[in-house]
């Protein structure tokens, strides 16, 4: 069920133990071949698939579409808010969810730049509301082992606008994937201990802008994206999210 598609009386009648999902995303460049809305569309794609499976068992809030994307602003079109703004917006929405008596909140993240402030939200809001379960799930983290079996690129292949995001967008909105603009892997190396991608995270976190990571704005192997992989990624991620939501309901 979608929060904003229900009437006020319908919301009032719901069981307060139903998990509420808050999707958080980004509007930012995704290389030469994917639209700015890629992260938002991927997060909403997973929500739609969950709604198809367990519609009456979840409540999906409107997406926070613009996230923390300062590191993308060297590429035209990227939008960003400050971390403090993002934290305040998440907190204000969660306060409303709490006000109406709901007990379980899952933040579903589809943008790497939101992970840090997302964890701060979990810790600060969770501390203030210890009678409420608050969790953060980035889609690429919930099914790591299964996703590694789908990956055909090497290390660094499933980063920003790479193999996985390209595959998902081929399923979600193939008309928005510019096949003629798919680029070769152009990752700029850094320290071995700071190398990582969506599946295998870096041992040590460092700051680099996307321009410092890749001249094309895509980190990984866009040309290895396929529709088949997009469906496989969808299935394993939604399977795991469904289990998580069942556990917290």
| pLDDT value of residue 201 | 87
Residue 34 backbone zone (phi > 0: left; psi -120 to 50: alpha; other: beta): beta
Residue percentage of the chain with pLDDT more than 90: 96
| pLDDT value of residue 249 | 86
Residue 195 CA to residue 122 CA, distance in Å, equals: 26
Residue percentage of the chain with pLDDT more than 70: 100
Cβ count within 10 A of residue 80? 19
- pLDDT confidence bin for 168, thresholds 50/70/90: very high
Tell me how far CA of residue 108 lies from CA of 23, 142, 158, 166, 231, in angstroms. 5, 10, 19, 19, 19
Strands 20-24 and 133-138: unpaired
User: What average pLDDT does the segment 168-181 reach?
Assistant: 97
| pLDDT value of residue 154 | 87
Virtual torsion, Cα 18, 19, 24, 30, nearest 10 deg:
-110
Count: domains in the chain: 1
Query: Residue 165: pLDDT above 90?
Result: yes
pLDDT tens digit sequence for 32-84: 999 999 999 999 999 999 999 999 999 999 999 999 999 999 999 999 999 99
Query: Residue 21: pLDDT above 90?
Result: yes
Virtual torsion, Cα 146, 149, 153, 159, nearest 10 deg:
0
Q: What is the DSSP letter of 34?
A: B
Query: Residue 239: pLDDT above 90?
Result: yes
Q: What domain range is 90 assigned to?
A: 3-248
Query: Residue 236: pLDDT above 90?
Result: yes
Is the whole model's pTM more than 0.85, yes or no?
A: yes
pLDDT tens digit sequence for 88-130: 999 999 999 999 999 999 999 999 999 999 999 999 999 999 9
Torsions phi, psi for 136 (to 5 deg): -125, 130
Give the contacts of 161 (CB within 8 A, at least 6 positions apart): 30, 31, 33, 34, 38, 217, 218, 219, 220, 222
Give the contacts of 52 (CB within 8 A, at least 6 positions apart): none
- pLDDT confidence bin for 19, thresholds 50/70/90: very high
**CATH code of 122's domain:** 3.40.50.10310
Dump strand ranges (E) for 123-243: 133-138
**Closest residue by Cα to residue 139 from 29, 246, 39:** 39
């Amino acid at each position: 069920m979608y929060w904003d598609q229900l009437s006020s009386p319908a919301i009032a009648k719901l069981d307060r133990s139903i998990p509420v999902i808050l999707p958080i995303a980004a509007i930012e460049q995704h290389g030469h071949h994917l639209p700015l809305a890629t992260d938002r569309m991927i997060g909403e794609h997973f929500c739609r698939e969950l709604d198809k499976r367990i519609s009456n068992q979840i409540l999906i809030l409107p997406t926070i579409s613009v996230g923390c994307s300062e590191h993308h602003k060297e590429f035209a079109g990227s939008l960003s808010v400050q971390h403090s703004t993002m934290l305040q917006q998440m907190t204000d929405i969660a306060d409303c969810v709490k006000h109406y008596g709901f007990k379980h909140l899952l933040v579903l993240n589809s943008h790497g730049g939101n992970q840090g402030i997302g964890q701060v939200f979990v810790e600060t809001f969770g501390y203030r509301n210890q009678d409420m379960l608050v969790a953060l799930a980035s889609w690429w983290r919930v099914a790591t082992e299964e996703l590694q079996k789908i990956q055909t690129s090497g290390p660094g292949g499933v980063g920003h606008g790479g193999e996985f995001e390209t595959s998902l967008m081929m399923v979600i909105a193939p008309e928005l994937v510019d096949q003629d603009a798919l680029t070769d892997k152009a990752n700029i190396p850094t320290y071995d201990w700071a190398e990582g991608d969506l599946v295998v995270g870096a041992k040590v976190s460092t700051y680099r802008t996307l321009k410092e990571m890749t001249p094309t704005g895509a980190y990984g192997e866009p040309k290895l994206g396929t529709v088949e992989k997009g469906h496989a990624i969808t299935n394993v991620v939604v399977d795991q999210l469904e289990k998580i939501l069942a556990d917290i309901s």
